[in-house]
Structure 1
Amino acid sequence: MEKILVVDDDIGIQKQLKWSFSGYEVIFADDRQSAIAQLRRFEPKVVTLDLGLPPDPANASEGLQALAEILSIAPQTKVIVVTGNNDKDNALKAVELGAYDFYQKPIDSDTIKILVSRALNLYNLELENRQLAQSQPAMGKIIGNSDSIQQASRRAEKIAQTDISALLLGESGTGKEVFARSIHDHSGRRNKPFIAINCASIPENLLESELFGYEKGAFTGANKTTPGKIETAQGGTLFLDEIGDMPIGLQAKMLRFLQERVIERVGGRNEIAVDVRVICATHRDLSAMVQEQSFREDLFYRVSEITINIPPLRERGSDVILLARTFLNDYKEEYNSKVKGFSEAAVDAMLKHRWPGNIRELQNKLKSAVIMAEGNVIQTDDLGLFSDGEESGMQTLNLREVREEAESKAIRQAWYLAGQNMSRTAELLGITRPTLYSLIDKYRLEDIKPAS
């Protein structure tokens, strides 16, 4: 049974909350000292904290000090501060100090139960993410706990200490360069350069000189001798991204380099020996391209001594949440954001989304959500996730479904703006509270539905 610590010196409030929190193990404290003692003894996941505690119940100083001590001892604990009607400033100050949320008296059982339920869910999700993070593969930057990513990581780990050529296959945005860098970082070449070049992003007439370099006077504008990417990677790793887009005419020269480990600069006559480990990647089907004769068969076998298939994000299950948490921590520090986690609806939306852009799409969604979020929890709208029909442009024309979707979104937005207060939500929507409850039931808005 989940534990909740209620810190309040009002016996009537204690009784009311004990009744509201049926189904939980409720622990009580009536001042700061007893609250800290109960926190250490029972380690509750959620604390409701009245800011007006003795010996100074008329002010919030004792409650704010209690909040600071609770978060210092148990920083993952979710603290919901409870204040009087005219004390919103201190409530906002408490949130700035790290409180999960705040609630203004008088106590409404339905609302406080929802707040506690959501806080518990967030705590448990964060706990799961921390546990997953502790069981990560040995390949440092590769994040994920799914069987498919673990298998790919193990293959990468096994070849890291060799010089075997590797071909990374996967859709765009799945993290092929991250795998390549991880292989390099765990190899004996880790202290030498890692040079990456995207074969699809450089015009065909420039790609050869980018790879092999050129001598002074080799062509118009060649004012000095310039080493290419292959030379620059001497002793280290060369990553050829999107090798499936390499022009067929250049593939023969690349094959000779891979076989002989020597190059000639454009316009040059001298062979230059190079010691480079080569890792290639593509989202294309090279086997089919070989059959079509758009990719050399001998080059294909040379670059694919070991093949690693990197799964798309939609096949990685709960890895998406682990990745989202990692990106959230990075971006909230970069943008000095106070966002702490995700709502249940946002987590559900991320798990259901197909992620056509894979990890790159997830990064973009998280970056914009951290910047745009107005609360300390990212909501579905902050992520800009839509249903499959919306993504494909096939929006429903059924008026009933359109109205249901629009009303559902309006209710969620009003509920969020009202600080999860049902009375205030109904007021913002211009409806009565019973009508609001009826709509919540009608549209099955389980994430904001008051507990029965």
Structure 2
Amino acid sequence: MRKKEASILIVDDDEDIVFSARISLKKHFNNILTTSNPKQINSQLSNNIIDVVLLDMNYRIGFEDGKEGLYWLKHIKKHSPETTVILMTAFGSVNLAVEAIKQGATDFILKPWNAEKLYSIVNAGVELARSKRKTIQLESVQDKNNKDFHQKTEHIIGSSVIMQNTKQLVQKVAPTDANILILGENGTGKYVFAKEIHLLSNRKNYPFIHVDLGALNENLFESELFGYIKGAFTDAHKDSIGRFELAQGGTIFLDEIGNLPLHLQSKLLSVIQNRKITRLGEGKERSIDVRIICATNAPIHEMVEQESFRQDLLFRINTIELNLPPLRDRKDDIELLATHFLKKLNQRYRKQIIGFTKQSLLALKDYSWPGNIRELEHIVERAVIITDNNEVQIEDLHFSTKKNTGNLIDNLNLEEVEKLLIQQAMEKHQGNISKASKELGLTRAALYRRLEKHNL
């Protein structure tokens, strides 16, 4: 039998007890540490990641009240909160056991013990320690992300009339807990708006969890969003919390919700309606307290008419609907945005470019921006990298030169014709799957298959 990778520390002044526990446990775990002196606990915790401490309750001859055990229990929990502590004593006392549990012990075992029971208790302690360690790591990562998130937030940029109206609506709805649906083409800033709404809300000190539903494998939908318990599927070796639980108290941003298949839409609808999730493989429901913001570039109202998106789910997610304008409809903001990106990229690339020439600004405003703000940032970044001047010149700007080839088809190879028609439809509708598939007379699923087939 393969031993489990785990570190167990046995602390007891009775050498026979230490020997017996070590022999019993080393059959199952790869690292068994022992000491007869509890004062060695500090060095053991400093030098090892201890999963479980088996701790004797009494060390002084004639004293059997368990006070020393409780003292070292507190010490361990203070310095290594993820470590599981199991107390041992030959003098069982219900009151002492209750006090030990209150102060952080996981279990209480009487000497002499049954070897199978000892293994069962210690093994459960190992799993608990690992679960706590993972939770602490997740919380640590989330805390760091939240700090970075607050420090790096880019406030919404734009002085055009359409953007002023949009910002006013954000300021009105952000302090509420209303579900918000953000609509807009790719690159219009849906993530930035969702982040800004969170930061202006009463939930700003709690997590902001971003989930890209478009990139999420259907088979992982439930386990990623709702979590799972050990044994729920082949690789589920331990319990894991999902994104909804990670967002507890804060905001969950479900991006590209228009890509969610119908059979998964019903599962999401149930969670939004009941504010409860059930981990995969578990029977009990867990309440969630999260604000839900969704976003999509898909024509979601048309999808409801086509019955590819549930109307009842749309009603749930769009208490407030925020429509973000494409960059071509807010040309007055282009110079402001370009200057913002220039300042940021100057720092990144250690440049001192002071601005844009008049000709380059006119070129920026004259372009159609199919990729919106994301494309603008990309073009400014490229210009910052390649220019040798203290101002961005028109020749530093590299706009997309793709042109619609119309109906001219020189190659009559069926595969090539199909690929060309799909390319034309995707360019015409700026990557919108629903519109492109409708024009081509295909279902969304069929178009996805052909995009994959032609590596588009």
Shift of 1:140: 6.6
2:256 is aligned to 242
Contact 1:349 1:385 survives alignment (8 Å): no
Structure-2 residue corresponding to 1:345: 359
SS in 1 for 2:182: strand
Q: Is the 8 A contact 2:227 2:280 kept in 1?
A: yes
Residue 239 of structure 1: how far off its partner (Å): 0.3
The residue aligned with 2:207 is 193
Q: CA deviation at 1:394?
A: 5.9
- The aligned counterpart of 1:260 is 274
Q: In structure 2, how many angstroms separate the alpha carbons of the residues matched to 1:185 and 1:241?
A: 17
- Once residues 218 and 392 of structure 1 are traced to their aligned partners in structure 2, the CA distance between those partners, rounded to angstroms, is 51
Determine the C-alpha separation between the residues in 1 that align with 2:213 and 2:259: 6
* Equivalent pair of 1:212/1:227 in contact (CA under 8 Å): yes
Question: Which string of whole-angstrom CA distances, capped at 9 and with x for unpartnered residues, describes residues 131-176 of structure 1?
Answer: xxxxxxxx97100011111111111110111000000000000000
User: Does 2:162 match 1:148?
Assistant: yes
The equivalent of 1:444 in structure 2 is none
Which residue does the alignment assign to 1:83?
none
Match of 1:330 in 2: 344
Aligned length: 254
SS at match of 1:326: helix
Matches of 1:216 and 1:173, distance apart in 2: 39
Amino acid at match of 1:392: K
CA offset digits 1:326-371 (Å, max 9, x no partner): 0000000111012111111110010001110001101111111111
Q: Name the aligned partner's letter for residue 368 of structure 1.
A: R
User: Secondary structure in 2 aligned to 1:195?
Assistant: strand
Aligned AA (2:187): G
Q: How does 1:36-435 map to 2 (within 5 A)?
A: 141-385=155-399, 390-392=401-403
Q: 1:256-308 CA distances to partner (integer Å, 9 max, x unpaired)?
A: 11111100011111100010000000011111111111111100100011101
**Cα offset, 1:243, TM superposition:** 0.4
Q: Percent of counterpart pairs with the same letter?
A: 46
Superposed structure 1 runs of 4+ greater than 2 Å apart:
none
Q: Say if 2:155 and 2:196, in contact at 8 Å, map to a contact too.
A: yes
Aligned equivalents of 2:377, 2:219: Cα separation in 1: 33
* Contact 2:154 2:192 (8 Å CA) reproduced: no
Partners of 1:347 and 1:150 lie apart in 2 by 22
C-alpha distance in structure 2 between counterparts of 1:220 and 1:383, whole Å: 52
After TM superposition, give the deviation of residue 238 of structure 1 in Å: 0.3
Rounded Cα–Cα distance in structure 1 between residues aligned with 2:175 and 2:388: 47
Amino acid of the residue matched to residue 338 of structure 1? Answer: Q
Report the CA distance between 1:204 and its aligned residue. 1.2
CA distance in 2, matches of 1:248, 1:316: 35
Contact 2:359 2:394 in 1 (8 A): yes
Amino acid in structure 1 at the alignment position of 2:242:
G
Q: Note the alpha carbon deviations across 1:57-94, whole angstroms, 9 max, x for none.
A: xxxxxxxxxxxxxxxxxxxxxxxxxxxxxxxxxxxxxx
Give the partner amino acid of 2:335: I
**Is the contact between residue 142 and residue 179 of structure 1 (CA under 8 Å) also seen in structure 2?**
yes
Cα shift at 1:391: 3.3
Please report how far the alpha carbon of residue 374 of structure 1 lies from its aligned counterpart in structure 2 after TM superposition: 0.8
Query: 2:123 maps to which residue?
Result: none
Q: Secondary structure at the match of 2:253?
A: strand
Q: Secondary structure at the match of 2:252?
A: strand
Question: In 1, Cα distance between the equivalents of 2:280 and 2:394?
Answer: 53
Question: Aligned AA for 2:158?
Answer: G
Post-superposition offset of 1:385: 2.5
How far is 1:207 from its partner? 2.0
Which 5+ residue runs of structure 1 have no aligned equivalent?
1-138, 396-452
**Equivalent pair of 1:241/1:282 in contact (CA under 8 Å):** yes
Aligned-partner SS, 1:164: coil
Give the TM-score normalised by structure 2: 0.54
Provide the secondary structure at the position in 1 that maps to 2:271. helix
Counterpart of 1:265, as a letter, is R
Q: Is the 8 A contact 2:254 2:293 kept in 1?
A: yes
Comparing 164-173 and 145-154, the one that deviates more: 145-154
Q: State the Cα distance separating 1:324 from its structure 2 match.
A: 0.4
The alignment yields a C-alpha RMSD, in angstroms, of 1.5
How far apart are 1:393 and its partner, in Å? 5.5
Partners of 2:397 and 2:245 lie apart in 1 by 43
* Shift, 1:318, TM fit: 1.8
Following the alignment from structure 2 to structure 1, what is the Cα–Cα distance between the partners of residues 405 and 361? 24
1:359-394 Cα deviation digits (max 9, x unpaired): 1101111111111111111112212136xxx33266
Q: What CA distance in whole angstroms lies between the structure 1 residues aligned with 2:404 and 2:325? A: 26
Alpha-carbon spacing, 1:394–1:293, altered in 2? closer, same or farther (3 Å)? closer
Alignment match, 2:92: none
Query: For 1:209-238, what per-residue CA distance to the aligned partner results, in whole angstroms no more than 9, with x for missing partners?
Result: 111111111111111111111110000000
CA contact 1:199–1:245 (8 Å) conserved in 2: yes
Query: Do the aligned partners of 1:160 and 1:187 also contact (CA within 8 Å) in 2?
Result: yes
Q: Residue type of the partner of 1:273?
A: S
Give the 3-state SS of the residue equivalent to 1:200 in structure 2: helix
* Aligned-partner Cα distance in 2 for 1:381–1:229: 46
**1:75 corresponds to which residue?**
none
In structure 2, what is the Cα distance between the partners aligned to 1:208 and 1:354? 40
- The range that moved more, 170-179 or 286-295, is 286-295
